Amino acid sequence: MKSAIRHLKRNRGRTILTLLAVLIPVYFLVFMFGFVNSMLSDMFNTVTQIDTGHFQVRHVEKRGMGSSVPLMQDSESVLATLDGIDGVEWKTVRLDMPALASAGDRSQTVYVQGVIPEEIAPISNIGDRIVEGSYLTSGQNGAVIGEELADLLKVGVGDEIVLLGAHPETGVGALKVPVVGIYAAPLSQMGRTVIHTTLGTARLLARSPNAATAIVARVDGVRSVSDIGKIEAVTDQLGSQLPSELEVLDWRALAPQVAGYTALIDPAMIIVAVIFFGLGALVVLNTLYLSVMERTRELGLIISLGASRWRVIRMILTEASLIAVIGALYGALIGVALVWIVEAFGGIPLPGQFANFMKAVGVSPVIHMMIKWPQVVISAVSMVVIAIIAAWFPAYRASKLEPVEAMKYVE
């Protein structure tokens, strides 16, 4: 150990270079973990808080339904079953169906969502985006439409629109409803197509007094994508208690695009880690190999004085271990400190229109950093192990030196 420390001090420039080769990959990976964790959390919370919930109970898909979701006629029994499941923090009944909205000679295909107004806030922010009129109240016969649809149909608050719905199970239904509110949609497509009515109004349109397309629910204690185990525990328990004609779909099945993005993150992080750790390992190998070449005569003398081959290997690996541990430790500390500093200043605000868009769809317009200690430990330990493995070749090469030839070596 003393010999290793003495040699590291003697070649400070090379020691610092090797330290940086270990420190930078660890620091970069820890910082990237902080950024990616926040991004995954925002994606997960956006999709589960805006539309899907953590899971939904639906009727098993039937052939020939087109864009319509099969109807459930006994939602009360499903709600009673959910009441007996530990971990369900919130639930509501929803009826979604395609329809045609018209006023005068103008019409537009839309998607009607029948909701219970007092319960829908955890998975919809339309109530917070009202720019004219007001949001729905239970028992009210009315509709809340987007600004784009209001412009297209040339209607305002207080005007009536005709909804013409068609469902394969109930046939065609028509209903005249007043516009009670207009909301500002984050996306124009949503503003043109999504209409909120009360559940009772949607059931009249569907011509079925007990119809529902989904029971939407959220699980207690789920704050990010890393908590999906809690969702799986609840859905597994619920699935075993439901009749065969009903199924449980979690957020991954309901939003496969978002689930696909999150599934790509881990492989991407592994590729980044391999690249940076590989470059760090090459620097460690190169600097230690040059160190062995410079110390050929010294190592030959040590071997000639009776030092074992294994002792020479230990000496080189000790140097590598010291550099790796110190570099990984400081890299982890710098990465964590930077994450904490960013959070202490409230995150990184997004610029201009991008911030407005993110705010509109329910996502924070500020990039926050989230780091988990297992990720920090894994990053640091992985780099230490890789650095020591990279040091094995020059250490083995040093142990194979022939004393006589080594002492004759001239740089």
What is the rounded distance in angstroms from the CA atom of residue 292 to the CA atom of residue 304? 16
Q: What number of CA atoms fall less than 13 Å from residue 150's CA on the CB side?
A: 22
- Predicted pLDDT of residue 295: 66
| DSSP assignment letter at 89 | E
Q: Which residues pair with 143 in a beta bridge?
A: 179, 197
Number of helical (H) and strand (E) elements in the chain, helices listed first: 14, 12
What is the rounded distance in angstroms from the CA atom of residue 61 to the CA atom of residue 199? 22
> Which residue, among 291, 302, 294, has the nearest Cα to 391 in the 3D structure?
291
The tokens for 2 are 């003393």
List, in order, residues 6 or more apart from 398 with CB less than 8 Å away.
292, 295, 299, 312, 313, 316
At what angle are helices 12-47 and 309-344 packed, to 10 degrees? 50
What is the rounded distance in angstroms from the CA atom of residue 381 to the CA atom of residue 374? 10
- CB-based burial of residue 80 (10 Å sphere; 0-12 exposed, 13-18 middle, 19+ buried)? exposed
What are 125-140's pLDDT values in tens digits?
Answer: 899 899 999 999 988 8
Structure-token match 């209409």, residue found: 195
Q: What is the mean pLDDT of residues 171-179?
A: 90
Domain 90-212 has CATH 2.40.70: yes
> Which residue, among 247, 234, 246, has the nearest Cα to 84 in the 3D structure?
234
What is the rounded distance in angstroms from the CA atom of residue 38 to the CA atom of residue 42? 6
Is pLDDT above 90 for 107? yes
- Predicted pLDDT of residue 410: 45
Domain ranges of the chain: 2-47+259-407, 90-212
DSSP string over 225-282: GGGHHHHHHHHHHHHTTS-TTEEEEEHHHH-HHHHHHHHHHHHHHHHHHHHHHHHHHH
| DSSP assignment letter at 209 | T
Find the DSSP H helices in 138-250.
147-153, 188-193, 199-206, 228-239
* Residue 43: C-alpha distances to residues 117, 191, 362 (Å): 25, 21, 10
- Predicted pLDDT of residue 384: 87
- Predicted pLDDT of residue 307: 67
Asked if 239 and 247 touch (Cβ cutoff 8 Å), the reply is yes
The tokens for 27 are 């620091």
The tokens for 31 are 């910082």
What is the rounded distance in angstroms from the CA atom of residue 340 to the CA atom of residue 346? 10
The tokens for 171 are 């046939």
Structure-token match 């199970």, residue found: 169
The tokens for 187 are 């996306």
Amino acid at 219: V
Is pLDDT above 50 for 8? yes
- Identify which has the larger pLDDT, 187 or 176: 176
What is the rounded distance in angstroms from the CA atom of residue 94 to the CA atom of residue 151? 27
- Residue % of the chain over a pLDDT of 90: 29
pTM > 0.85: no
- Residue % of the chain over a pLDDT of 70: 86
- Identify which has the larger pLDDT, 409 or 58: 58
What are 319-350's pLDDT values in tens digits?
Answer: 788 888 888 898 889 989 988 888 888 777 76
- Predicted pLDDT of residue 112: 93
- Identify which has the larger pLDDT, 365 or 37: 37
